[in-house]
Amino acid sequence: MTQPMMPFACDLDAAPLGSWAEYEESGPWIPIPFKTRFALVGKRPEGVTIEWTGFSSNNDDFVMAYVFTPGKGPPRELVKQVLQDGAYEPMESPPSAHRRQDFRGRLDTRSLVGTDEITVRVGTFRTKRYHYLTAFGENVDAWISATAWPICLVKLDAEQKQDPSTTGRFSYELVATGSDAKPRITRPAVPHNLEVLKKQDDEKRARTGRPDNAPRVGDTIVP
């Protein structure tokens, strides 16, 4: 199953450097809620960098750095991707065509349906609510606040239509924020090498006891 993409709806030119937001993600395929963090860790002439961190139970954190073209408004174009899997060397990961589209961060203004004041665990926000469909025809509601740095998402709720044998919904909820983020990827990235990624994935699979039928690197796109 493919979960709805999280919209990057902030004006990164206005977003404070070091701002971060942590989300709890749940879905039909997730046995327990999963936490992820977005942090604005770089503003340079060549682009704005947001790091996404996925926290695992074995402390093998996965970090992906996204570099967007600079400028006012939501992220314009994804120009560079670097991944760091635990203690392995950072590696360049050329963005695919559909990842570029996913991360433009522009919510269609025609999908704006109103304003809501909503309360999540981190506080109460005055938001704009957007309603739209995924490529699978799933209804999505996204609540956006201009001050929920660095991506401005407060909450997202969506139905699941991809597997009729499975019940449940997709959701993201803002659970923590801060202003002290530092880059987690600090070493130079090596060139992209799929065979090296597959070897690393096999090593992690053996170390953590993941089943052989679990998705492997190269089978799916890592968020």
Please give the tally of structural domains in the chain.
Answer: 1
Residue 208 located in a structural domain: no
Residue 48 located in a structural domain: yes
pLDDT tens track of the chain, all 223 residues?
788 888 888 888 889 999 999 999 998 877 777 899 999 999 998 899 999 998 765 555 789 999 988 877 776 788 889 999 888 999 998 755 445 545 545 678 789 999 999 999 999 999 999 999 988 999 999 999 999 999 999 999 999 999 988 888 999 999 999 999 999 999 999 999 989 988 988 887 787 665 554 555 554 443 3
- Cα-Cα-Cα-Cα dihedral sign, residues 198, 199, 200, 204: positive
Q: Which residues of 171-188 are buried (b: 16+ CB within 10 A; e: fewer)?
A: bbbbeeeeeebeeebeee
Among 10, 32, 29, smallest CA distance to 21 is for: 10
Residue 64 located in a structural domain: yes
Long-range Cβ contacts of 81-85 (<8 Å, 24+ apart): 82/185, 82/189, 83/222, 84/184, 84/185, 85/60, 85/197, 85/200, 85/204
CA angle at 152 for the pair 147 and 153, rounded to the nearest 5°: 130
Q: Which residues of 67-95 are buried (b: 16+ CB within 10 A; e: fewer)?
A: bbebeeebbbebebbbbbbeebebbebeb
Is the bond preceding 95 in cis, omega lying within 30 degrees of 0? no
The pLDDT value given to residue 60: 59
Residue 204 located in a structural domain: no
Residue 218 located in a structural domain: no
Q: Is 123 helix (H, G, I), strand (E, B) or coil?
A: strand
CATH number for the domain spanning 140: value is: 2.40.360
Residue 87 located in a structural domain: yes
Residue 98 located in a structural domain: yes
d(CA 88, CA 82): 12
- Cα-Cα-Cα-Cα dihedral sign, residues 195, 197, 203, 205: negative
| Contact (CB, 8 A) for 102 and 5 | yes
CA angle at 223 for the pair 220 and 200, rounded to the nearest 5°: 60
The pLDDT value given to residue 50: 94
SS in 3 state form for 129-171? EEEEECCCCCEEEEEECCCCCCCCEEEEEECCCCCCCCCCCEE
The pLDDT value given to residue 108: 80
Residue 202 located in a structural domain: no
Containing structural domain, residue 73: 20-192
